[in-house]
Structure 1
Amino acid sequence: MLTIENVLINTRGVRYAKASRFEAPTPVEWDGVRGSSQRGPACPQPPSSLLPVVGDSVAGLTFDENCHVLSVTAPADASGLPVMVWFHGGAYVTGSGESRKYDASLLASEGVVVVSVSYRLGIFGYLHDNLGLQDQIVALRWVRDNIAAFGGDPANVTAFGQSAGADSVYALMLSTDEPLFHRAIMQSAPLGARGPERAAMTEALRAFVTVDASTPADEVLAVQQQVPAMAAQFAPAGGMPFGPVLGDVDLTSAASRIELLIGHTADDGSPYVADQPDAWEVVTELVFAGPARQFAADWTAAGGQAATFNFKWRPEGAPLGACHCIELPFLFDPDGWTGAGMLAGQEPDPVLAKTMRGLWAGFARNGMDALPSRSLEFGG
C-alpha cells in the first residue's frame, strides 16, 4: 500500500512555455531535471475576494507574467499510473497551481501522478485571444509528451479543477479535439455565469481596458480592479468578467471520448451573498447546482457518460455552511488550509477526506466503473 512516506515531490516550477504580454505561448522543451523544491511564480494579481473564506492562496510566491509553470507530485516508484492535471480556481483573476494549498501528496498517495498548472490570469490572460486557455492547452501537451518520465500514463489523463478551474476544464473539452485528456472532474463550475453575454462583455472590456505591452503590471492591475463595476451590466456573465470566450459548442465529439464527473457544494453561493442567508440556496442553484445537473444531462444526451456529486459536509458553527471551496482541504493537504475562515477552526473529517481522494483517484484510474453511484453525496 502507498503511504505518504513513499510519495516524492518530483519537481516544482517546471517551465512549460514562455510568452510576451498579449502573445500566444511558445512551448519550452523540458530539460529533464527532476527534484526541484523551488515553487514557480504566480501571475500578477489582486488580493482574492475570498481571502477571509479560504486564506491567502499565493502566500510566499513571487509574481511574474511569465507564470507558465507546473509542478508534478508522484509516488517514488510510479510507473504507468493515471495522471490527474489540476487547474486552480480564483475567478480567472487570482490563484496559482504553485500554491501551498494545492499540495497533492495525499492525493498522489492514492496511486496517481498529479500535475498542477499555472496560467495567465485577468487582463494578462483573457483580454485577448483566450491566452490563458492557450496556456492550459500547451501545459496539457507538455503532460502528453513528458509525464511518462515521472511514472504517469499519457494515455490515461484526467483534467480536474474547481471554480474557474472547472470552467477551464469545460472550455478545454469544447475548444479542441486533441485527445489531451480522457476524463474530467468539474468541481463547482460557475456555469451559470457563462452565457450569451460573455462575447459582448469581452468586446466591451477590450474597449474599456486601455493598456498595452509596455504598461507596468501594477498599473494593469489597477485598471483590472475597475472592470467588475463596468461588467456588471452584462449580468449574469458580469459576475466573472474574465474567462475564455467560446463560440457555438457541440458536445458530441467531446462526450464520445471523455467521461465526466461534475458537482457542487451544498452552499456554493454563500460567500457571494454572505449577508443574505435566504439567498444562499438561490445563488447556489442558479450559478452552480442547476447548471451542473443540466450539463450532466446534456453530456449523457450527447452520447457521453456522466456522474454528479453534492458535497454537503460543513463544520459545526461554519459561518458559510458547505460553501464554495469547502471540499478542497479534503483533496489536498489540509495543513495548507489551516486558518481558512470557512473551516471555523475545525479540521476536515479525515475519513471523509480519504474516501473522497480515493474516489477521485479511482475515477482517474477506471472512470465510471470506480464510482459506487452516478449520483454521489459527501457528508451532510
Structure 2
Amino acid sequence: MEPIRTTRQGAVRGRLVTDDVAAFLGIPFAAPPFGEARFRAPAPALPWDGVRDALSYGVSMPRAPYAPPFDTLIPDDGPQDEDCLNLNIWSPHPAPGGGLPVMVWIHGGAFANGSGSASSYDGSAFARDGVVYVSINYRLGADGFLKLEDRPDNRGLLDQIAALEWVRDNIEAFGGDPRQVTVFGESAGAMSIGALLAQPRARGLFRRAILQSGAAHHFLRPASARLITARLAEKLGIEATAEEFAAVPLERLLPAQAELRGEIGARPDPALWGEAALNMMPFEPVLDELAPPAADCGVEFLVGSNREEYRLFLVPTERIDVLPQSKLRLATAAYGLDPDKALPVYADRRPDAVPGELFDAVTTDWFYRIPALRVAESVPGSYVYEFARRSPAHDGRLGACHASELAYVFDRLDDPAYAPMLGPRPAQPLADAMHGAWVAFAKTGDPGWAPYDAERRTTRIFDTAPSVECDPRGDERALWEGVR
C-alpha cells in the first residue's frame, strides 16, 4: 500500500523504495518564486485538498549547465522550472511514532548550479540506517544571491531557512524528531550552513552540522556584490533594478550570469569583483562580515575537506601541467602568504611537484581546509575529517579532489552519475565507514573518533585504509596562522 503522511499544507502520497524505505518527493515548502514573487522572500506554500502525489522529484531552479569538462564530472541532473521551492524525504517504513534523527541536505554548485532532486543525492541509504533524510531545492544565481537594492538579500538562504522551518513543523509526520536535526552540505551547501549560523532566524532550526569542503569564509560584502550586479546589468543592457532583471528572459539571463565566472578568471582584479576575485564565485551570500561560529552557538560540528580539492579544476582542463610558476607565486601572495617562505614548505613534502600541483595544495588549504579547521578551533568538541582516497579517474591524476567524497557519504557507489569521478573499483568498505560516521554523528553527536583540540588536532583520514592522524601536514597548516 502506498504510504500517506499528513503535513500542515495537506496529505501527501509517497512510494515504497524497498519494504523498509519510503520516499516522498517534490513536496512544496514555499510558493513558486516567480511572477509577482520574483526576487522576494519566499512565501508559504498554498494548502491543497485531498491527497497530493509525491511520487517524483520536484523541479529545481532553472540554471545554465556546467561548462565542459565539468558537465560530465559533477552531477547536475533533474527537471528545472519555476515551481522550484520543494523538498524530498526518505524515511524508514513503516514510519515510527517519531523520535528519529533527521538529516537535511543542502547541495553545492558554487551557488549557481546543483539540485536537491539529483539522483546522486537519493537518501535511501540514510533511511535504511534509521534516519529521516531531506534534500531541498533553493534559488541559485541571480535569483538567489544577486544584490538588488529594492529586494531582500540572500534569497537563497531565506529559502533554506524556509525549508528548515517546514521540517521543524512537519517532520514528525514522517517519523522524525524536529529537535534532532543535522543539516549537512558540500561546497556551496557547506558555505550556506556557515552563513546560516549568522542568521538569527535560523537559530534553533538544527542541532548539528556537517560541513564538507566549505565553511564560514566565503561571502561578498555589499560593495563587492554591487559591482557584480552592475556588471551583469551591463552585459544585459539594462538598469540594475529588480524589475528590469525580471523582464530578461531566462534564456538570456542564465548564460549571462554563467559567463561572469569566466570573466573573473580572465581578469581577477579585486577592483572589478571584490572578494569574488579570489574564489571566482560571483553569486554568494551578501554579508557585512562572516566569522567562524561562536563557542556557544548551540550547534555540534563535523567538518572537513578533501586532500586535493583543487585538482577537480586543474586536471580535467589540463591546467595542472601548464600553470606557470609566476601564477603560483601571484596566487600564493593574493591568499596572504609570503611565496618565498610558504612555497618551500609545500614543495618539501612534494619534491617532484610541478607548479600546478603546488597550486592545488596551496589553494586547497586557502579555499577549504583552513576554513574547516577554523570552525573546529572555534567550537570545542568539534570533529574533523579529511577525505584522502585518490580516484583512479583521469589516469589517477584526479586524486582526492573536490566532490569525490559524495558517493561515499551517500553510499551510492553504483550510481552512474558518480562513475566519471569515481573511476573503476570504488571502495565499498570506505563507503561503509564514511556513511556510517555521518549516520552516527546525526544519531549521537559522536562520529567515532576523538574531537579536535588545539593540542592534538585529531583528524579522521578517510582513505582505502582509514586511519586517525594528529595534525596532518601541521607545518603547512601553521603557515596560515593569523592569515586565514
Does the TM-score normalized on the shorter chain lie above 0.5?
yes
SS of the residue corresponding to residue 335 of structure 1 reads coil
For residues 47 and 181 of structure 2, the distance between their equivalents in structure 1, rounded to whole angstroms, comes to 19
Matched, 1:208 2:292: no
The equivalences for 1:46-125 within 5 A come to 46-49=64-67, 52=70, 55=73, 57-59=75-77, 61-79=78-96, 80-125=99-144
Matched, 1:296 2:320: no
Partner of 1:224: 257
Distance 1:47 1:190, change over 3 A: farther
Matched, 1:357 2:374: no
TM-score normalized by structure 2?
0.71
The equivalences for 1:1-380 within 5 A come to 5-18=18-31, 19=33, 20-28=37-45, 33=51, 36-49=54-67, 52=70, 55=73, 57-59=75-77, 61-79=78-96, 80-128=99-147, 129-177=153-201, 178-189=203-214, 194=218, 198-210=221-233, 211-231=244-264, 232-234=268-270, 237-238=276-277, 239-249=280-290, 255-274=296-315, 275-276=319-320, 277-300=357-380, 305-316=381-392, 317-332=395-410, 333-338=412-417, 340-344=419-423, 346-368=424-446, 370-374=447-451, 375-379=459-463
Higher relative contact order (CA closer than 8 Å, sequence separation 6+): 1
**Does structure 1 conserve the Cα–Cα contact (< 8 Å) formed by 2:195 and 2:290?**
no
For residues 291 and 363 of structure 2, the distance between their equivalents in structure 1, rounded to whole angstroms, comes to 27
Count of paired positions? 368
SS of the residue corresponding to residue 39 of structure 2 reads coil
SS of the residue corresponding to residue 222 of structure 1 reads helix
Q: Which moved more, 1:34-43 or 1:145-154?
A: 34-43
How far residue 218 of structure 1 moved from its aligned partner, in angstroms, is 1.0
For residues 230 and 254 of structure 1, the distance between their equivalents in structure 2, rounded to whole angstroms, comes to 39
For residues 229 and 338 of structure 1, the distance between their equivalents in structure 2, rounded to whole angstroms, comes to 25
For residues 58 and 293 of structure 2, the distance between their equivalents in structure 1, rounded to whole angstroms, comes to 37
How far residue 319 of structure 1 moved from its aligned partner, in angstroms, is 3.0
How far residue 44 of structure 1 moved from its aligned partner, in angstroms, is 1.1
Counterpart amino acid of 1:266?
R
Partner of 2:467: none
How far residue 14 of structure 1 moved from its aligned partner, in angstroms, is 0.7
**Does structure 2 conserve the Cα–Cα contact (< 8 Å) formed by 1:123 and 1:242?**
yes
For residues 208 and 52 of structure 2, the distance between their equivalents in structure 1, rounded to whole angstroms, comes to 27
How far residue 351 of structure 1 moved from its aligned partner, in angstroms, is 1.3
SS of the residue corresponding to residue 17 of structure 1 reads coil
For residues 72 and 375 of structure 2, the distance between their equivalents in structure 1, rounded to whole angstroms, comes to 27
Q: Which moved more, 1:233-242 or 1:170-179?
A: 233-242
**Does structure 2 conserve the Cα–Cα contact (< 8 Å) formed by 1:83 and 1:114?**
yes
**Does structure 2 conserve the Cα–Cα contact (< 8 Å) formed by 1:71 and 1:98?**
yes
**Does structure 1 conserve the Cα–Cα contact (< 8 Å) formed by 2:108 and 2:188?**
yes
For residues 69 and 80 of structure 2, the distance between their equivalents in structure 1, rounded to whole angstroms, comes to 18
For residues 279 and 228 of structure 1, the distance between their equivalents in structure 2, rounded to whole angstroms, comes to 19
SS of the residue corresponding to residue 361 of structure 1 reads helix
**Does structure 1 conserve the Cα–Cα contact (< 8 Å) formed by 2:136 and 2:163?**
yes
Distance 1:292 1:255, change over 3 A: same
**Does structure 2 conserve the Cα–Cα contact (< 8 Å) formed by 1:70 and 1:97?**
yes
How far residue 120 of structure 1 moved from its aligned partner, in angstroms, is 0.6
Deviations 1:299-340 (A, max 9, x none): 33xxxx311110111234433101101111112223334564
For residues 35 and 349 of structure 1, the distance between their equivalents in structure 2, rounded to whole angstroms, comes to 37
TM-score normalized by structure 1?
0.89
**Does structure 2 conserve the Cα–Cα contact (< 8 Å) formed by 1:103 and 1:336?**
no
**Does structure 2 conserve the Cα–Cα contact (< 8 Å) formed by 1:311 and 1:377?**
yes
Q: Which has the larger radius of gyration?
A: 2
**Does structure 2 conserve the Cα–Cα contact (< 8 Å) formed by 1:318 and 1:342?**
no
For residues 389 and 429 of structure 2, the distance between their equivalents in structure 1, rounded to whole angstroms, comes to 12
Counterpart amino acid of 2:136?
V
**Does structure 2 conserve the Cα–Cα contact (< 8 Å) formed by 1:15 and 1:69?**
yes
Counterpart amino acid of 1:147?
I
How far residue 176 of structure 1 moved from its aligned partner, in angstroms, is 2.2
The unaligned stretches of length 5 or more in structure 2 are 1-16, 148-152, 234-243, 321-356, 452-458, 465-484
